[in-house]
Structure 1
Amino acid sequence: MRFHKDMLLLYAITEEYCNRQRPLIEMVKEALEGGVTILQLREKHLSDEELMTEALEIKELCHSYGVPLIINDNVELALRCSADGVHVGIEDTPVAEIRAKAGNDFIIGATAKTVEQATAAELAGADYIGVGAVFPSPTKQNAVRITNAQLREITSAVSIPAVAIGGITLGNISQIDCGTLSGIAVVSAVFGAKDITQAAKELKAKATALVHS
């Protein structure tokens, strides 16, 4: 699936901590119905075999909505299941190594918390960066916070698109200084919601307003 920045508008990330009481595939379908534009599978509690099973099923569902599937961290599994891409953290497999192995059509996202990390990711061949945490995050409680000024500085230092991540909710999204952001990345704001589809719809509307403000 050919990457373009509009895919990043509402970037939903699955996370086991959301205390799920039903199959993940059902929750992903509801998120897609609500307008999620890209999905990252981040299920670190699963074995590779279990993750592969989930990834294949969810990839088929995502593609039926024209939405790319990104795998968190696990480059080899992402390639094995023919996912659309992978997102890596600062201490994970280097972007340049992934690009050399996966080719130009594979989507690569990279975490960046500084201008230096952002520019390095772009030079190495990343398609987009995830910048945060912009708010306290329930999924990564030790995550380093960045200010709006830092967010703007980081995103304006690169020509590749960027998403803000970290504790973003319907209640605080308007506090983000958009700058050159292409979208927002959320976990619990979608998958922790009682009505996932409605939450996604409302977040997408607010993300659209933010990006085009």
Structure 2
Amino acid sequence: MMDPRDKKLAKLLVNYSCDIQKDEKILIDYEGAECKPLIKQIIRDVYEAGGKPFVNIRDSEVNREVLLHCDEEQVKFMNEYQLAQMKGMDAYIAVRAGDNASELADVPSEKLNLYSKLLRPVLDYRVNDTKWCILRYPNPSMAQLAGTSQEAFADFFYDVCTLDYEKMSKAMDPLKELLDKTDKVNIKGPGTDLEFSIKGIGAVKCDGKMN
């Protein structure tokens, strides 16, 4: 059964965060049965926007088994087919609702490093060449990490994730302009007196797009 707030969240992801246009292809990548109603609503909204949805289903338990004994040749081939898939997409939405946030904790670090290093081109293409958004979905695992009840965490999640981000983005413009033209920054407080330059660094609004 879908939480009614998922409808608002799905529309925000599709129409604002990824701004799906007619005939654009979007890869929807999700993990966990609990977020399936949201995924179905995202698919409906993509079609309504005139886009074409494609879906990947992840499972950390299964992925753990692959990673435990993977080798370089295998991971290089993963990169080839995943990169080919990503290059066909205009947008990407990932939703994570795994039961155990630490499922990969006992995978040897050298295997995780190999996986991350060799699949970096997929990540780089997604970040630099598609419209994208990634979020965790409120479930017992997330509530435990937050040290709160699932109901309380869900309320917090939807309050934050269904804000009027377009309105917030416009309100951020004056601060961005100020930061763009600022040279020296001085932070003072009890036991603190820091001064540094941000000249030429530039500011990026984190306003619900590509984050």
Confirm or deny a common fold (TM above 0.5). no
TM-score by length of 2: 0.36
Considering only CA atoms, is the larger Rg found in Structure 1 or Structure 2?
2
Larger relative helix fraction: 2
Please, what TM-score do these two structures have when normalized by structure 1? 0.36
